[in-house]
Chains A and B, each alone.
Chain A
């Protein structure tokens, strides 16, 4: 047995009072790497062993407070910065409504961190390779005995004197525990590795099937297929086989009164400008002119296209010919188009067309201003 490495010496007791007095003696002998094992927590063992009170509460405090801060930060950022939305007329950051979620996040962070910190960092668990496992000593203290273990790494440890010390405490038994010759649960055991590999493959396959196949099979069709007839679909209900019905002949949609002068060259006798060049009207005309007309005609109607020759430049709107057009003629050209210019009837409605006419008139007058106009402006 000499070639085996000693882990420590253990003694077993049956009486809870005996273990307390034994623990007191071992503690006063000045050992540090020793422990008492019992099937349940013994009252007063901490004082007998002279262990300091647990500092676990610090972990709870830190993580609990970070829970409060993180929860409030998350809700503040999502609800008032990233996607602010008024809900029930309340402020973006409405603290009373955030309290439940803050509380829950605090609780989960504090409790889970306490448990994880205790097992993983305070105890160094999981650890199934400890020398005490699978010994008779462990089986006894697991059931109804109480044991003292003094480890060989303790600076005061000496095989003979420690053995004597423990024997003087009148225990049931005392024995030496050796490190196991081979690991009980070697991590590189082929069967264990095969199990890990199997689990990895199963999880990957399961995830793949779940996300890429199962989610898209019937009946989860994400509302793609519905019983209703859609715009272009066929229907045998009607003789013509169309799903969509045509409007009754002569139907006029609201706001789309037909333009009766489409084929006429000059309908100006009947087309007179119904709108006054008020400031609002000119603002409307300006905005529509800049959107629809200025790409070709230029911002001031000079015919200086921004399209850089990709499209034939129109003539200036400040020529004598254009200036002598009646309002109705310009309106007619916008509505039906002229030469290379297409109809703009579907883009600007009637009111907007007349507003553009007024704006063009204002541009024409500004480009060819008389002295009297300047006087008039100054007078204002």
Chain B
């Protein structure tokens, strides 16, 4: 198959007119939800309810309901936190880094990925707070003048985490809302319902599609993307500092920041593909979220999967090369100790399975990629489990070794976080345009004047 790389492939397939694009994206917002929507919503709400019940038990009886113990003080709470923060990295990567790299294909998936970022960070934010055991005291994590005369310890990675995650959430939300404003204006002008018109008017802030505004707006978008890029890299770096700054063998390694960031992009893209496959099918968006999009994302998954695989190998190499017997023991224990099953699940899901993406047929086959990306999600959850549990359960002193076994409440809260995530995603698909209408119109064929530079075939 020969491809002419000198001509940029069209971003929107099927030669849709601007009005058709808008109709396609806005249709789910104008129609009543069907039966499938309610079935999906009830499944995710059930999961959310199970999680909420387990959380209520945890609040009432305390953290003792979980499997956490001495020496494994960081159990599912932190595993799930790192997992969800990682999921949240794909959105900003797509919307900011690919924007700065002028990857025009990002327009079709950016809005959805950003929404997933926000929902994933919401899921992530719950875990450290409930992990403290007294979630109603979470306000003490912020530095504010108080009667105790106390301040937070600004040199602690756990405080950096509070700043990193909350700033990441806020900036993602601002970025997302800024992108939504022109779309709210478009929806305001096309809707016939008075209530909807009022709501859209409020959220569109009275946007008028003015060219004088677009000029500043595009500038602001570049500035936001410029800040979001180092921010997204900093967030998982800081999360990895929670581990790397400690002196525990298995955590105390300098490879952690790049390793965590690669893993975050890996798992985030896998989650975005998982959800997009359903969304493009259900809402008939195959022309906007094309198979080319999915193929490009699969390539990113393959690349980041190999970075993660390299990190796994490098950790073992450094353990051997350091000559530190405690470090060496931790890694041998990781691969051949009582949690070897988790380690090998992680290696096969994260390193071996994505290798199938070397084949173009598999990259472009929706059912096969579905299986692979779900396995990648499983593998990335196990990666955090392996890092946290196997490092903690056997450290320096054999007399203080132990085992971690999750309880039903741990599993219920994990299920609940998936319930929360998918409930928000499902509600989002019916409440807001899942693709940026103004951005996708701008990259459609013939949408831009051809008087100077740019696309000469339009």
Interface residues of A (CB under 8 A from B): 16-17, 19-20, 23, 35-46, 49, 51, 53-54, 56-57, 60, 74-75, 78-79, 82-83, 85, 87-88, 90, 94, 97-98, 100-101, 103-105, 107-108, 110-112, 114-115, 118-119, 122-123, 125-130, 132-133, 138-139, 141-144, 185, 215, 219-220
Contacts and interface: CB of A to CB of B under 8 A. Distances in A.
A266 B126 CA distance: 75
Nearest to B18: A144
A46 B215 contact: yes
Contacts of B156: 87
Contacts of A75: 154
Given A43-B454, A51-B215, A110 B209 contact: no
Interface stretch (B47-55, B116-124, B401-409, B444-452): B444-452
Contacts of A107: 167, 171, 227, 230-231
B78 interface: no
Nearest to A43: B448
B18 A143 contact: yes
28 contacts: A16-B448, A17-B450, A37-B211, A39-B182, A40-B441, A41-B217, A42-B214, A42-B449, A43-B448, A43-B449, A45-B214, A53-B219, A56-B216, A56-B219, A78-B143, A79-B155, A87-B156, A100-B164, A107-B231, A108-B167, A111-B171, A114-B220, A118-B216, A123-B213, A133-B208, A139-B190, A143-B186, A215-B136
Interface string B202-235: 1001111111111111111001100110110010
Given A41-B442, A108-B171, A144-B19, A101 B211 contact: no
A41 B272 CA distance: 27
A113 to B, nearest CB: 10
B428 to A, nearest CB: 21
A142 B206 contact: no
Given A128-B206, A130-B208, A101 B159 contact: yes
B174 A17 contact: no
B72 interface: no
A133 B60 contact: no
A90 B155 contact: yes
Contacts of A138: 189, 208-209
Given A49-B211, A123-B213, A108 B170 contact: yes
A97 B215 CA distance: 39
Nearest to B439: A40
A122 B454 CA distance: 29
Interface in B162-199: 163-164, 167, 170-171, 174-175, 178, 181-182, 185-186, 188-190, 198
Nearest to B231: A107
A347 B144 CA distance: 42
Contacts of A41: 211, 214-215, 217-218, 438, 442
B224 A16 contact: no
A119 B234 contact: no
Contacts of A144: 17-19, 22, 441
Interface of B: 17-19, 22, 59-60, 136, 143, 149-151, 153-157, 159-160, 163-164, 167, 170-171, 174-175, 178, 181-182, 185-186, 188-190, 198, 201-202, 205-220, 223-224, 227-228, 230-231, 234, 238, 241, 437-439, 441-442, 446-452, 454
Contacts, number: 207
B208 A111 contact: no
A105 B171 CA distance: 11
A231 B214 CA distance: 72
A219 B56 CA distance: 11
A380 B448 CA distance: 104
| 3 tightest Cβ-Cβ pairs between the two chains A and B | A144-B18, A142-B189, A40-B442
A20 B449 contact: yes
A141 B223 contact: no
A110 B175 CA distance: 13
Contact of A44 (B18, B218, B451): B451
Given A78-B143, A104-B234, 16 more contacts: A16-B447, A40-B442, A41-B442, A43-B448, A46-B215, A103-B234, A107-B171, A107-B227, A111-B175, A114-B220, A115-B220, A126-B202, A126-B206, A139-B190, A142-B190, A143-B189
Given A97-B155, A100-B234, A123 B216 contact: yes
Given A57-B223, A78-B143, A87-B153, A39 B18 contact: yes
A100 B235 CA distance: 9
A227 B454 CA distance: 76
Contact of A133 (B206, B234, B438): B206
Contacts of A110: 223, 227
A133 B213 CA distance: 16
A98 B154 contact: yes
A100 B157 CA distance: 9
Contact of A101 (B154, B171, B175, B186): B154
B220 A56 contact: yes
B205 A127 contact: yes
Contact of A143 (B22, B59, B202): B22
Nearest to B201: A128
A23 B210 CA distance: 13
